[in-house]
Chain A
Amino acid sequence: MIMRAAPVKLSLLGAAVLTACASQKPLDTQALEQARTEVHTFSANPAASEIASHELAASRSSLSEAEEALRDRKQEDLDYYAYLAVRQAKTGEARIAEKQAKQRLAQVRGQREQVVLDARNAELEAQSKLAAQLTERGMVLTLSGVLFDTGKATLKPGAAPALNRVSTYMTQYPRTRLLVEGYTDNQGSRTANQQLSELRAQAVADALVMRGVPRNRIDTVGRGPSLPVANNDTPEGRDENRRVEMVFSDDLGRFAEAAVTGVNR
């Protein structure tokens, strides 16, 4: 209606008004701000260029399109490119997170294998320490001297696997008897060593009773520094001599003759 009156002039005026309106109406830059933050954080990740170079390039390009849309005052373009930039940056971050989680997973798997390996080694070591030997005295299992400190009769925790196995064995063969013999190195007086060897044998017997072996199936004896199995002149030899030997009867409770005399090996 008005247009018909002065078409050219008014349409020019209209355009001017529209432009003025547009420049006054503030653009919603919320999406753009989020995109800036997201792309900035993503770019700052040192792994981005290596692991997610595609997403890095894409999100930066989308962000610059969004910035251009801001300059050109195009709200729709701004929102569109900001949306893409945020998604691309997040996608890139997810790719980095995935890669890093997989790397950690490989590490933890390695640690797990190590734990399994260590446990197996510990068990093997424990078992090798309790390799029973068949002697003239019957089956003999030696708890090595490293399981006692010098001058002490307290068992170290390392003796546990051997004692567990002995108690299991004693349960399986309910008529088997046990002779527990304590030995010392040659350091110190003979009386003290005799006493110490008795205490050591007693400590082992107590530990077995604690594991459910009836006391009346266990005999203990202290043999002092007699019958050394190694050289008492070296610390390693003395370690070996500081020991407890467990002599097993047969499964009817009879000891070999040599076990009873305790001298013939």
Chain B
Amino acid sequence: MWGAGEWLRCMACLSLALAACSGEPRPEEDLAHAKSLIKQSDTANVQHYAAAELSEARDKLQQAEQADAGENKDLARRSANEAAADAELAEALARSRAAEHALEDQKKSTEALRQEAKQHVPENL
């Protein structure tokens, strides 16, 4: 006959198996993923070029954590994934905006140099 310990263990196993089977949302992984993406994208560059998107990501993550604490696992999973998408967007936008900024700077300085060279060489008498 099984003792209390065996029964408990069996129940635990069973409930885990059931949870897995029923596809009940388990937001832990999604939350961890979102957190790590936000951490990665929390750089000076992103803060400078995509502050709005980054703060959107942070807000979503907070919502996800609240939903998780309130046992609304489905909302937690969705919000976490939305936060992750926001963080990726923030990072990509920051990169593209920084690149465009560098391009504009280079264009301006090249044009200035060109003007200078033009004025320098053919001086009219």
Contact = CB atoms under 8 A, between A and B. Distances in A.
A95 interface: yes
Interface stretch (B5-13, B16-24, B63-71, B88-96): B88-96
A194 interface: no
A97 B82 contact: no
Residue from B82, B88, B107, B113 whose CB has the most chain A CB atoms within 10 Å: B88
Residue from A115, A155, A207 whose CB has the most chain B CB atoms within 10 Å: A115
Interface string A228-245: 000000000000000000
B87 to A, nearest CB: 9
A207 B125 CA distance: 7
B99 interface: yes
Given A108-B107, A122-B117, A122-B121, A90 B89 contact: yes
Given A83-B82, A87-B85, A108-B107, A95 B121 contact: no
A210 B125 contact: yes
A233 B114 CA distance: 40
A26 interface: no
A97 B95 CA distance: 9
B96 A95 contact: yes
A176 to B, nearest CB: 22
Interface in B39-92: 78, 81-82, 85-86, 88-89, 92
A115 B99 contact: no
Contact of A118 (B78, B109, B117): B117
Range, interface on chain B = 20 to 34
A94 B103 contact: no
A27 interface: no
Interface stretch (A9-17, A42-50, A159-167, A253-261): A159-167
B106 interface: yes
Contact of B81 (A84, A109, A111, A154): A84
Interface stretch (A98-106, A129-137, A182-190, A218-226): A98-106
A115 B89 contact: no
Interface in A69-92: 76, 80, 83-84, 87-88, 90-92
A126 interface: yes
A223 to B, nearest CB: 22
A101 B85 contact: no
Contacts of B82: 80, 83-84, 87
A53 B110 CA distance: 34
B14 interface: no
A94 to B, nearest CB: 4
A105 B110 CA distance: 11
A152 to B, nearest CB: 13
A158 interface: yes
11 contacts: A76-B78, A87-B82, A95-B92, A97-B99, A105-B102, A112-B109, A112-B110, A112-B113, A158-B122, A161-B121, A207-B125
Interface of A: 76, 80, 83-84, 87-88, 90-92, 94-95, 97-98, 101-102, 104-105, 108-109, 111-112, 115-116, 118-119, 122-123, 126, 154-155, 157-161, 163-164, 207, 210
In the A-B complex, list the 10 residue pairs whose CB atoms are closest, starting with the nearest: A87-B85, A160-B123, A94-B92, A101-B99, A98-B96, A97-B96, A119-B117, A112-B110, A94-B96, A157-B122
